[in-house]
Amino acid sequence: MDPETSETACFEAGVKFGALYHQFAGTPVSPDTADSLARAMEESIENQPFCESVTVDVLTDELADAIDHGYTELTGRFMEVEIVVEQDGVEVVARMEMEDGYPLMRVADVRA
């Protein structure tokens, strides 16, 4: 059985999240560099097929609280992300937010 278009679009959203998180986790970041890092993350992932938009919000208040020596490493606890994928008329909105201490990535909406 072939997957439905909505299923392949959800899979594509997962691919984008995997690339975003594992490409940028561990990157040195500070409140001063957070915006430029967020833009680089967005632009990098938007290059992938079917990706309509990526919004990365680095939580600078939480970031500032975690800094010991001028910077810290980027992890899921310091960012909220929304990725929109469009494939063959199906739009998937996926988000990453902290839930119970874990950066949970999930499908928020599927629209045909």
How do residues 39-88 score in pLDDT, each as one tens digit? 999 999 999 999 999 999 999 999 999 998 889 999 999 999 999 999 99
Residues 67/71/77/83 CA torsion (nearest 10 deg): 150
> Which letter does DSSP use for residue 89 in this model?
T
Q: Residue 73 sits in which domain range?
A: 5-111
CB 81 within 8 A of CB 55: yes
Q: CB atoms < 10 A from the CB of 47, how many?
A: 9
Determine the pLDDT at residue 33: 96
pLDDT tens digits for 2-32?
Answer: 899 999 999 999 999 999 999 999 999 999 9
What's the structural domain count of the chain? 1
CATH number of the domain that residue 99 is part of: 3.30.1300.20
Phi then psi dihedrals of residue 39, to 5 deg: -65, -40
Determine the pLDDT at residue 69: 87
**Radius of gyration for the chain, computed over Cα atoms and rounded to the nearest angstrom:** 15
